[in-house]
């Protein structure tokens, strides 16, 4: 049961996720078989585990979900299935004791399989209708995982491979915003050979590919910024230099694309180390419930005109990046001026805490993400046009090497 049944995915009268039965009846269908993917070789590995475990437990209680597999992507890049009741403490020392090894096969009909062992040579494929991606940062959010799943044909939630890559690349995202005429603060690529920018210090120095403020620094001058490129390990794949204004504060809003484009309440995250500091990893995630317990002003106490502008810009940004799933859009403001900062395509806790107006329970958010995963596939490859005509007239390869 593959694409034809997935496209008939629907909600029953109670809002439960269900698939038609093999007989094709319309009486509620069979429960969906889903998996939650979390972890990954990323600096945000631990936060990803928290988001993933929250999703596993919520889906395990949801109507219409027949089975929920808990798939852990280790720091070394290996795959495991973990017991659904495993708590965060089980991952402190690495792979939980109850984990069973898996492999991901990137080809049509592939997906996740249990390797054969002992007398059982044949690999067992996990039968899944869709997967919920809860990976933050690294290959789980930069399009790598999405591309691998595209090759399998397995429906997944969240951004497409292209959308994920764009959201992770701060320089490319900023350039798109400039091209579209949206307000952004100046930002430039930075290497050890770069010349001093035209905008004045101080600067924010951040990884070009990364998130959650990991590796982000405020630097007083250009020479310091250039020296930090070599010293800061998070900057070695690429660095971005931006204009810094200490009077600016963060404003964030979530947006989701299913069942229609919708935005959440606006929050103002609160810094715990004073007004002159950036919003850091500790502020965002180090609490009993991750982002849910981080200090914040929700809804943000801002002027109605500023709120309206944020909502308008959120819709524009969502359209430009091809929003799929739920994302968090980050802005900077001094209370009057407003700038687009970043897009987080797989935010911590999937930003469910922002959905207070309109009210959106966590389980409903997850079920909508899974519904979109099946109803609106992220990618569909085609070989149309490759009819062999070029090959028939190509002649010998040796002649083309000249």
Q: What is the CATH number of domain 187-243?
A: 3.30.1490
Q: Is the pLDDT of residue 154 over 60?
A: yes
Backbone angles phi, psi at 155, to 5 degrees: -60, 140
Same fold, 3-158 and 187-243: no
SS (H, E, C) 337-368: CEEEEEEECCCHHHHHHHCECCECCHHHHHHH
- pLDDT of 246: 92
Which tokens is 181 given?
């005429």
- pLDDT of 394: 86
- pLDDT of 19: 52
- pLDDT of 97: 93
Q: What is the pLDDT of residues 276-332, one digit of tens each?
A: 555 554 555 555 445 556 788 999 999 999 999 999 999 999 999 999 999 999 999
Domain ranges of the chain: 3-158, 187-243
Task: In whole angstroms, give the CA distance from residue 115 to residue 135.
Answer: 23
- pLDDT of 17: 56
Q: What is the pLDDT of residues 83-121, one digit of tens each?
A: 999 999 999 999 999 899 999 999 998 999 998 766 666
Would you state the CATH architecture of domain 3-158?
A: 3-Layer(aba) Sandwich (3.40)
pLDDT band at 15 (very low <50, low <70, confident <90, very high): very low
Q: Are strands 79-82 and 65-73 parallel, antiparallel or unpaired?
A: antiparallel
Share of the chain above pLDDT 90, in %: 71
């Amino acid at each position: 049961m593959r694409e034809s049944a997935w496209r008939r995915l629907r909600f029953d009268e109670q809002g439960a996720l269900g698939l038609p039965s093999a007989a094709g009846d319309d009486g509620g269908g069979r429960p969906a078989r889903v998996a939650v993917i979390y972890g990954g070789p990323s600096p945000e590995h631990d936060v990803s585990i928290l988001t993933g475990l929250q999703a596993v437990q919520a889906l395990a209680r949801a109507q219409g979900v027949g089975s929920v597999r808990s798939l852990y992507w280790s720091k070394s890049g290996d795959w495991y299935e973990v017991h659904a009741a495993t708590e965060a403490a089980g991952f402190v020392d690495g792979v939980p004791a109850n984990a069973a090894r898996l492999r991901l096969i990137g080809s049509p009909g592939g997906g996740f399989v249990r390797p054969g062992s002992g007398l059982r040579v044949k690999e067992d494929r996990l039968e899944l209708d869709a997967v919920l991606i809860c990976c933050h940062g690294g290959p789980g959010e930069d399009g790598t995982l999405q591309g691998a799943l595209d090759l399998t044909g397995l429906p997944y939630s969240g951004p497409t491979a292209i959308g994920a890559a764009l959201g992770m690349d701060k320089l490319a995202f900023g350039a798109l915003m400039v091209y579209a005429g949206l307000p952004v603060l100046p930002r430039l690529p930075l290497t050890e050979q770069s010349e001093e920018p035209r905008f004045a210090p101080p600067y924010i120095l951040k990884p070009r590919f990364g998130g959650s403020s990991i590796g982000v620094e405020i630097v007083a001058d250009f020479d310091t910024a250039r020296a930090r490129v070599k010293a800061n390990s998070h900057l070695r794949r690429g660095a971005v230099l931006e204009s810094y204004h200490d009077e600016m504060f963060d404003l964030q809003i979530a947006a989701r694309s299913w069942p229609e484009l919708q935005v959440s309440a606006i929050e103002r995250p609160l810094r715990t180390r004073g007004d002159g500091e950036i919003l850091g990893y500790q502020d965002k995630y180090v609490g009993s419930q991750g982002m849910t317990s981080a200090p914040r002003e929700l809804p943000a106490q801002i002027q109605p005109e500023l709120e309206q502008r944020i909502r308008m810009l959120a819709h524009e940004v969502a359209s430009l990046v091809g929003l799929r799933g739920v994302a968090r859009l980050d802005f900077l403001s001094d209370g009057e001026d407003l700038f687009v900062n970043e897009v987080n395509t797989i935010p911590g806790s999937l930003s469910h805490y922002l959905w207070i107006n309109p009210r959106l329970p966590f389980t409903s958010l997850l079920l909508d993400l899974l519904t979109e995963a099946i109803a609106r596939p992220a990618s569909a490859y085609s070989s149309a046009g490759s009819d062999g005509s070029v090959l028939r007239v190509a002649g010998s390869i040796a002649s083309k090497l000249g």
